[in-house]
Structure 1
Amino acid sequence: MRLRNIPGAKDEMNQNPNIVISNPSQHKGNWSKLFNNDHPIHVEVGTGKGQFLIGMSMLNPEINYIGIEKYESVLLRALERSKESEQENVKFLNEDVGNLLDFFAPGEIDRVFINFTDPWPKNRHEKRRLTYKGFLKLYEEILNPEGEIHFKTDNQGLFEYSLESFSRYGMSLHNVSLDLHKSGIEGNVMTEYEERFSRKGMRIYRCETKFSPKSI
């Protein structure tokens, strides 16, 4: 799907530096100072229009949230929502997920959310999937030893691939759901895509996973 370019999107972000953080590498290892507290930090990769992250920030004021989205026209809506909510515990980065190590120090993050990412179904595009081993290596670096990845998708093929990718990487799986909205899980905040797909009666797949402790 081709994204519609919105004139002035970048300018709007630049006018809200307290929400969309420019030069995030300057805060590497010091995000707690930017939030002005020592609360846990949760990151959503590919945050889209921000519905999930802002919903989570409202439910959990004791947690800091950072959403990463590379498309300006998409992130603009997240910025607008953030301004409407007036939540101070959520920030956004207009950056590429592949550069995570430039923004966060080892062990600085407590949780990573991957929600309804592009499945990239063709085999030649495997390396672009956000649950590919190359991305898992990045998440492992920035997560603390007890950190988790929470993953949701409507795509069964991507879910099966991701479970296999997690397992091959030596990660442990928890709370695996093949039909999230019938699982009785509490505190689920839906993304824009999740709302759309669930209204159509489509299954939502979800799991939580952790990295194995590194041997010394």
Structure 2
Amino acid sequence: MRLRHKPGAADQIRQYPQYVILNPQDSKGKWQSVFEKEQPIHIEVGTGRGRFIVEMAKANPHINYIGIEKYTSVISDALDKLIEAEVPNLKLLNVDAQKLTDFFEDGEIDRVYLNFSDPWPKVRHEKRRLTHKTFLSMYQQIMNKDGEIHFKTDNQELFEFSIMSIANYGMTIHFLSLDLHNSEFEGNIMTEYEEKFSSKGNRIYRIEAAYRK
């Protein structure tokens, strides 16, 4: 992804601490108190410009959402959408996903969304893929025993890698689609990338998987 510099992005984030949590390590184990209501917490790792997570929060007021994005110029766009939507059940974190266990207590999260993550196509970079076993272990640590991972991509190689990684980790795949937009799946909310790729005729792949109890 080619990042554009957005002047003033860092200043904007600091101006809205009610939306972007500036010291998330202080909320570890206490995330329910950050929201207006105590309800399940779902996180999106790599929230990008925020279309998915904002629309999910609007559609599901009974769930609390946290969008995680390390690039300041990108999450600033997500913040713009959140300010406009004014949904109380969504917060944003401008942090690196490799440090999730610094911000969330064991068992604190109910679901992890991975949408159109960087495929890191070179074999020497596979440990950076968000479905690598190292990340799967980290998600398992912060999720409760009923936690799930929902994954979407248009990249066939990443999809195939993810199937093998998830299966080899011992997870149960309970939904798999090789062509999501031509399936009977209901309630799909698209990301910006998803709309772009699907308009070009790209297949969208989806996996829903749970950790075995």
Question: TM-score scaled to structure 1, two decimals?
Answer: 0.97
Alpha-carbon separation, structure 2, partners of 1:98 and 1:110: 18
Give CA deviations for 1:33-52 in whole Å, capped at 9, x if unaligned.
11032110000000000000
| 1:55 corresponds to | 55
Question: TM-score scaled to structure 2, two decimals?
Answer: 0.99
User: What is the Cα deviation at residue 2 of structure 1?
Assistant: 3.3
Q: Mapping of 1:142-153 within 5 angstroms?
A: 142-153=142-153
1:106 lines up with 2:122 in the alignment: no
RMSD: 0.7
| 1:170 corresponds to | 170
Q: Mapping of 1:1-216 within 5 angstroms?
A: 1-213=1-213
Give CA deviations for 1:140-161 in whole Å, capped at 9, x if unaligned.
0011000100000000110000
Give the residue type in structure 1 aligned to 2:7: P
Indicate the SS of the match to 2:77. Answer: helix
Indicate the SS of the match to 1:193. Answer: helix
Runs of at least 4 residues off by over 6 Å: none
Q: Percent identity?
A: 59
Give CA deviations for 1:4-56 in whole Å, capped at 9, x if unaligned.
22121111000000101011010001110110321100000000000000010
Give CA deviations for 1:42-83 in whole Å, capped at 9, x if unaligned.
000000000000010011001000000000000000000000
Alpha-carbon separation, structure 2, partners of 1:37 and 1:90: 11
Give CA deviations for 1:111-157 in whole Å, capped at 9, x if unaligned.
00000000001000011000001111110001100010000000011
Give the residue type in structure 2 aligned to 1:96: D
Indicate the SS of the match to 1:62. Answer: coil
User: What is the Cα deviation at residue 175 of structure 1?
Assistant: 1.2
Structure 2 alignment gaps of length 5 or more: none
Indicate the SS of the match to 1:137. Answer: helix
Structure 1 alignment gaps of length 5 or more: none
Give the residue type in structure 2 aligned to 1:94: N
Indicate the SS of the match to 2:126. Answer: helix
Alpha-carbon separation, structure 1, partners of 2:20 and 2:180: 31
Is the 2:36–2:88 Cα contact (8 Å) retained in structure 1? no
Indicate the SS of the match to 1:95. Answer: coil
Alpha-carbon separation, structure 1, partners of 2:51 and 2:114: 14
